[in-house]
Structure 1
Amino acid sequence: MNPHFTPNEQQRIVSAIRQAEKTTSGEIRVHVEQHCPDADPVQRAVDVFGRLGMHQTKERNGVLFYLALTDRKFAVIGDKGINFKVPADFWAGTKNLLREHFAAGDYVGGLSKGIERAGQQLRQYFPHAGANDTNELSDDISFD
């Protein structure tokens, strides 16, 4: 349980992930902790990405939303498969969208919009594989 997200808020985030993943073979995860142990939240996100096994998806199309709430740091990273396909400004645009919501204290809304945006890109480049498509990673939020 995380003191910053109520069970209802957590469910809204998980629902956004499930909705985004309905039309893509891509995988989206959210990881939340209070403090970022690294100076660089991107490096911490890379470490968490590996620890969560996100690099093990068949098409290397996982996206991680990382938040260190108390430290007010965050990162959004994608695996090799998605990085090769999205427009060059995609990650910066997604971070700006999150930053706008986070600055207003709307973490759930920001995550939901960011997840929706990532889902749109994943759907474009990694459409759902039909009956053969499996959910390779948990949709639940992970906490440290």
Structure 2
Amino acid sequence: MNLKIQITIYIFILLGLVTACDTFKDEITPDSTTYAEVPKSLDGIWQLKTVSRNGTDITHAMDFSRFLLHLNKDNTYTMENYLPFLVKKNGKWKIDDPIFPFFLVFKQEGTDEEAKTEISYPIVKGKRRITLSFSPGCVGNSYVYSFEKIEK
């Protein structure tokens, strides 16, 4: 008799488990435009925040913050307080992909050559940054410049 009671209890538990499970039905079908990635806005004034040379942080060696990179909406750029950089003169800029940029390309005035650098686009302490890696002239030296956008 005891065995029949145990079997009956197991059957009720099994039925409870089976009927308690409901298949998940998503009542909201995501629209592909709802979750679309927006184009990255690189235009603006970018102030140099951190600098590393050959893997060593040299940010505190001098006042790098005076170097400003102006990326204008018309795809021209200008620089203030020049430091070693990919280009020496003002000119035009472009990115390889407006939604997922991997490369930033500079073209100086008066030349047909393009200077291309890898770009990352992180948010640091709530502020958008762009990070550029390059070797200006001497292949023995590599720099990583991290810029923060100046909000007006």
TM, length-normalised to structure 2: 0.29
Q: Which has the higher helix share?
A: 1
TM, length-normalised to structure 1: 0.30
Larger radius of gyration: 2
